[in-house]
Amino acid sequence: MNITAEAVKQLRERTGAGMMECKKALVEANGDADVAAENMRKAGLAKADKKASRVAAEGVVLVEKSADGKTGVLVEINSETDFVARGDDFRGFASDVAKAALAAKVGTIEALNTTKLASGETVDEKRRALIAKIGENLTVRRVSLVTAPTLVGSYVHSDNKKAALVAVEGGDAELARDLAMQVVAASPRYITPGDAPADMVAKEREIETEKAKQEPANASKPAEILAKIVEGRLRKSVNEFALTGQPFVKDPDVTIEKLLQKSKASVKSFERFEVGAGIEKKTGDFAAEVMEQVKAAQTKKDEADPPTRH
């Protein structure tokens, strides 16, 4: 079957493996990237799957917090092009939506779309009006409401493409912000290793078991020793995706767990948004698209000014 260069590129980003290994894996998996990534991990050819970090849409992620610092909202708004996402109309709309979401304390898109802005229009009415003005589709994609016993820490990356909120009990504003920065930078999936979903742990155990069996160094080892090797690797894998098990981005010699213990604080919840995460962007032949646009423009010209017959 035909494996596109884009498919190979995406699998390479997910696995950290080489191009030829990725292409071969895709061919063997009949083009299914999920199957290919899993098979590569079992064969020891790939690192932890980074599927969740793939980004393919344009837009912004914004944060708004209450005056007392105990409530915050994350909002993601998408556009078709980065050109529009950088425009004043789009940025102004996004800011107004985030402020309205906080004021109304809404945590669902359904509720947010019917929330009124300061102008009197609902979010959805304003979005439609902006689409008509800009000529490009806009989507209010996600919203999350986070509340905390002590503080909500927030961090927005400079390009407004990634942001996080962390609900903290104990600690201070600096710790809360550092934790939000950690979530943006390291993309944890859960707070502690014990919070790891059972199905995820089972899948990781299956992958590590298969990988260990295929390693020549383990060929003569007893089953119980092999099992201990697998469980050790499993603990490491589960820890990598747990916030408390990660090394602190500001000081890799300290884990987040130790940082929290030192401050006598705990994380109650967190939310991380990255623009376009999980959206598959349509890709195509750029030259062909340009030629199509040229032909369409020529057709319109011919229709408006047909050639004179003699």
296: pLDDT strictly greater than 80: no
Q: In what order do the strands lie in the sheet with 151-156?
A: 151-156, 162-169, 266-274
Residues 72-96 have a mean pLDDT of 95
**Residue range 163-190: mean pLDDT, rounded:** 97
Residue 298 has pLDDT above 80, yes or no: no
Residues 6+ apart with CB under 8 A from 121: 129
Q: Residue 286 has what pLDDT?
A: 42
| Contact criterion met (CB below 8 Å) for 100 and 145 | no
**pLDDT at 27 exceeding the cut of 70:** yes
Instruction: Please report which confidence band the pLDDT of residue 53 belongs to, taking 50, 70 and 90 as the band edges.
Output: very low
Alpha helices in the chain (DSSP H): 5-15, 19-28, 33-42, 82-85, 88-104, 109-113, 123-134, 173-186, 198-214, 223-240, 256-263, 286-304
Statement: residue 56 has pLDDT above 50: no
Residue 4 pLDDT > 70, yes or no? yes
pLDDT tens-digit profile of 107-150?
Answer: 999 999 999 999 999 999 999 999 999 888 899 999 999 999 99
Enumerate residues 6+ apart whose C-beta is below 8 A from 160: 60, 61, 62, 275
On average, the pLDDT of the chain sits at 87
First and final CA of the chain: distance in angstroms? 53
pTM over 0.85: no
CATH 1.10.8.10 fits 1-54, yes or no: yes
Instruction: Give the model confidence (pLDDT) of 181-239 as tens digits.
Output: 999 999 999 999 999 889 888 888 888 888 888 888 888 888 889 889 988 888 888 88
Q: Which residues pair with 248 in a beta bridge?
A: 251
Rounded CA gap, 226 and 107, in Å? 46
**Quick one: pLDDT at residue 216?**
86
Where along the chain do its domains lie? 1-54, 58-186
Under a CB-based contact definition with an 8 Å cutoff, are residues 182 and 175 in contact?
A: no
Name 30's Cβ contacts closer than 8 Å, sequence gap at least 6. Answer: 1
pLDDT of residue 293: 54
CA-to-CA distance for 238 and 231, rounded, in angstroms?
A: 10
pLDDT number for residue 291: 55
The domain 58-186 is placed in CATH, from the list 3.40.50.1370, 3.30.479.20, 3.40.50.720, 3.50.50.60, at 3.30.479.20
Cβ(74)–Cβ(63) under 8 Å?
yes
Whether pLDDT at 283 is above 50:
no
Burial state string for 13-37 with b = 16 or more CB within 10 A and e = fewer than 16: ebbebeeebbbbbbeebeeebeebb
What percentage of the chain has pLDDT greater than the value 90?
A: 57
